[in-house]
Structure 1
């Protein structure tokens, strides 16, 4: 949304006067076609602009999670710390300490940063001062994923449980309910006002009714553990170490569609994979991946986006998310990554490396 607004609509005002919308969209179409051509050339020739952040974690242990906006990048490290970086200068402005284990997941808003750790705790930090506000203790093992929206937060753990928290204030967060049913670690949980959806190493996705927390159904299909999942408008998209992406409705028994990659690993394979899925259709695949899926993102209109490089047998290197833009009737896949030149807003590429022995400690 930020890219669309800044890159496209900032040109609506020229010399203080608003351009007519029909003229604007005529120009917009040609600009997008031009940019797609440039992106295609840059992609195939390997032209890109890359800026790296050296996190300098203790013993170079690495980065496990991050979130960013226009001003800052916040990352959780294996050395038990949270680092806050200035997005423009790429300087570390603050380091938060308090966890006794690796920081495996985080989310922030304009007031707080909430982190989950292999020390089994969830901690709440003031985003401005970095002061620890609250420590939540429920899980018996590592907290693998968390998500909060307004006054509700979900956390999931290696202990096979999902915790539902009620946020009255950053200092007043109470455990509302615990959901159990998975037979292995719960790697990710997502929710909206209708359903809670979780994915596990037991190869299943479980669906609960939001509000009542009644169990609804189990979605099956993956042949190995599920590492990542996103849920929106009753569409569940999941990625697994069986090298497949599956799309299922919360009301479905069988997958809506499956994007499957080759299973044989090739030494020195260092290509990238991009999937963009509209509704039930796999729109296109740019190159193929031969390593287990570890993360992805779905946007509005059931658009699925994911991008990563496989740099060796032992690590995955994650790069910037691609973007998809829908322009009225014309549906245009617009790769807004760093493989471009002289286009505003594309000068950052963020990388994080995780060991393939498991993305969580």
Structure 2
């Protein structure tokens, strides 16, 4: 007898940090708000929907944000408050399932296949959870419902803010074919640009490429890309999931030999890693840079620090130092990557995620 179709909900709070600030300060309601620092090297950690209408987004330099929206109000982040609200939300989740996998303070996967509360459908369960979040916290959430995690996460973005969307088994593969690959979890801006250069812009384009082609251009990520292009994802919702590291890498279309270009690529990967660390509030002590040469020879260089790497500036500096230790290369470089590991328990619980010179880029796949 085949196993039952899983019922997965991805709950994602709407503009979480900014919404908390607007909730707690009535003077901010209806105004364009950025959580972050307006300093010359500051960055937007989160933006309200009013600010997003002007093109203000998280990871945007503060000076750029102010140029786009001169009326923008900056509010310094209060992570103790965000954590407390997150605990309230997770307590609501726990009434519906024990299978909860947090991704960060403001989003989580829930497996509600068992239907603990007798609501009959995952749609009804998601609707009730969102209603309780609004009643108990004064904040809105969006939800995606599907039969796997990849589709549920995609679906939660489809009706934002304050909405929900379901992707059924009968529509999954066809729906994915219509979407731009830049929306796929795990395909960041760098990879999306590389895919576009190869003629891959939609899920349908990705599905049409044979595995050998994807392996040639994307290495170990090829199997994942082929699976999601078919709307396949067998990963369970794992409530005990303890992440040991966070990393990203990129393979170049042409081998690089210029040390400055190689270092720039490493720093771009470091930005991506930092974005995940900041959002997940997971900070590690060890930074590793990976280099693969034209002949497929691979080396790594690592450094461990006494305390967690707590700012993006520190991560960029460590990554730059490590890549410089192997420059200039004796041959072309085809791949570089950056990984942070040795996460501290509750790392970052008492420290700001975005310093005056902090930056963010994009979250990595979970």
> Shorter-chain TM-score category?
0.3 to 0.5
TM-score (norm 2): 0.33
The structure with the greater share of residues assigned to helix is 2
- Larger relative contact order, structure 1 or 2 (CA cutoff 8 Å, min sep 6): 2
The structure with the greater share of residues assigned to strand is 1
